[in-house]
Amino acid sequence: MKKIFMLISGLILVFALSACGNSVETLRVLNWGEYMDESLVDQFEEEYDVKVVYDIVDSNEAMELRIKSGTTKYDIAFPSDYMIDKLRQQDLLNEIDYDLLPGLDNVSFKSEVSSLTADEAYNDFFVPYFWGTLGIMYNTDEVDEEDLTGFDVLFDPNTEYKIGMYDSARDAAAAAFLAQGYNVNTNITTELTATEDYMAAGVYDYFGTDNLKTLVQSGNLDMALVYSGDYFDQLYVAEEAELEINFAYFVPETTNIWVDGFVIPTTSENIDLAHKFINFFLDLDVTSQNADWVGYAPVLTESYNLLVSDEYGYGEYDNYDPFPAGTTRQVYKFISDTRFTRLNELLDIAKID
């Protein structure tokens, strides 16, 4: 009987030790595609002896649905400014505990990034990740630069250019608002009605998203509404392939500046590890490698200075700094779901031939 008891006790101990040995913390991350150097995720896993489950979505709205459903309890997500605002209003975000981010002692956010969100109610709920502008990518072989006076060139009903429009209600409407002198966050009925007519009068050859940049370079489109990062993505691809650089990027005097950030959803079951992940990306070498891989402008002053130095060479690129002198910047805010539905109506009507 004693031998049997000892045997059973031994087996219990073995299983217990085995279970302990296999217990690895898991961090669940929700991000956009091609928006992080995943070798750095591997490095984080190795450094902290954890497992990262990395999921991808293609829109802020899809990100919101994933977080709200709670099916996967995400610890980190990367929404844009207006969605951060919306998630905060729905009590779906934890406040950031800056005491758990010692990396901030060694770096600083670019003053322009800080000023963009300094007055926003959601400022305590995110850490900036990347930023950029909304602008016009154009084929230099086809477009007369004198015609690039503002976003209005995209909506000219008499245009002779082949126009690509971003298939996003918020961005397409924002370009139309700005072209008419309205704020990107307008919710004035008369301005929305005027914009419906304005967008409907436009002549568009193609509605797309990530593929607009390649269509401009190939000459299938003369110009298109894109994010600054889309332009730089195509620029790096063309340079690596040693192709002719026959395209450029124009930032109108008044434009939208976007900021994406790290957030910690209230679904998180590992808040401390989530902060460690954010802190990991505050390291100068890590954030600079990540920005080099992604191609978007970094939010940290020290990283930006390094990337525009001779070591990385980004200083030779016009518009690498998304904050061009003299430009008026407007950041998206979440107004209401009703307004977003109205923006979708504007885009749907614009798509009708």
Q: Domain for residue 104, yes or no? A: yes
Q: What mean pLDDT comes out for the span 203-208?
A: 98
Q: For the chain, give the percent of residues with pLDDT over 70.
A: 93
Say yes or no: 105 and 47 in one domain: yes
Q: Domain for residue 187, yes or no? A: yes
Say yes or no: 219 and 338 in one domain: yes
Q: What mean pLDDT comes out for the span 287-295?
A: 93
Among 7, 350, 303, 21, smallest CA distance to 163 is for: 350
Q: What mean pLDDT comes out for the span 257-271?
A: 96
Q: Domain for residue 263, yes or no? A: yes
Residue 182, pLDDT above cutoff 80: yes
Q: Domain for residue 19, yes or no? A: no
Say yes or no: 222 and 343 in one domain: yes
Residue 11, pLDDT above cutoff 60: no
Count Cβ neighbours within 10 Å for each residue of 251-282 and write b for 16 or more, e otherwise. bbebbbbbbbbbbbbebbebeebbbbbbbbbb
pLDDT for 22 equals 59
Residue 145, pLDDT above cutoff 50: yes
**Mean pLDDT value across the chain:** 91
CATH number of the domain bearing residue 203: 3.40.190.10
Higher-scoring residue by pLDDT: 21, 88: 88
Say yes or no: 301 and 339 in one domain: no
Higher-scoring residue by pLDDT: 172, 123: 172
Q: pLDDT tens across 66-118, in order?
A: 999 999 999 999 999 999 999 999 999 999 999 999 999 999 999 888 887 78
pLDDT for 18 equals 45
Q: What mean pLDDT comes out for the span 334-347?
A: 97
Say yes or no: 205 and 341 in one domain: yes
pLDDT for 7 equals 45
Residue found by looking up tokens 């989530």 in the block: 274
Say yes or no: 264 and 178 in one domain: no
The number of beta carbons lying within 10 Å of the beta carbon of residue 36 is 20
Interatomic CA distance for residues 181 and 52, integer angstroms: 45
Q: Domain for residue 3, yes or no? A: no
Domain that holds residue 210: 132-257+327-350
Q: Domain for residue 5, yes or no? A: no
- pLDDT interval class at 27 (50, 70, 90): very high
Domain count of the fold of the chain: 2
Higher-scoring residue by pLDDT: 16, 295: 295
Residue 154, pLDDT above cutoff 60: yes
pLDDT for 325 equals 65
- pLDDT interval class at 124 (50, 70, 90): very high
Higher-scoring residue by pLDDT: 16, 236: 236
Q: What mean pLDDT comes out for the span 41-60?
A: 97
- pLDDT interval class at 19 (50, 70, 90): very low
Say yes or no: 93 and 104 in one domain: yes
Say yes or no: 160 and 309 in one domain: no
Residue 51, pLDDT above cutoff 80: yes
Residue found by looking up tokens 């909304």 in the block: 134
In angstroms, what CA-CA distances link 9 with 1, 4, 13, 18? 12, 9, 6, 14
Q: pLDDT tens across 297-333, in order?
A: 999 999 999 999 988 889 888 878 877 766 788 999 9
Say yes or no: 141 and 230 in one domain: yes
Say yes or no: 253 and 205 in one domain: yes
Q: Domain for residue 206, yes or no? A: yes
pTM of the predicted model, to two decimals? 0.87
- pLDDT interval class at 216 (50, 70, 90): very high
pLDDT for 211 equals 94
Residue 120, pLDDT above cutoff 90: no
What is the identity of the amino acid at 182?
Answer: Y
Q: Are 67 and 265 in contact (CB under 8 A)?
A: yes
Higher-scoring residue by pLDDT: 295, 56: 56
Say yes or no: 218 and 305 in one domain: no
Q: Domain for residue 15, yes or no? A: no
Say yes or no: 211 and 250 in one domain: yes
Interatomic CA distance for residues 163 and 151, integer angstroms: 12
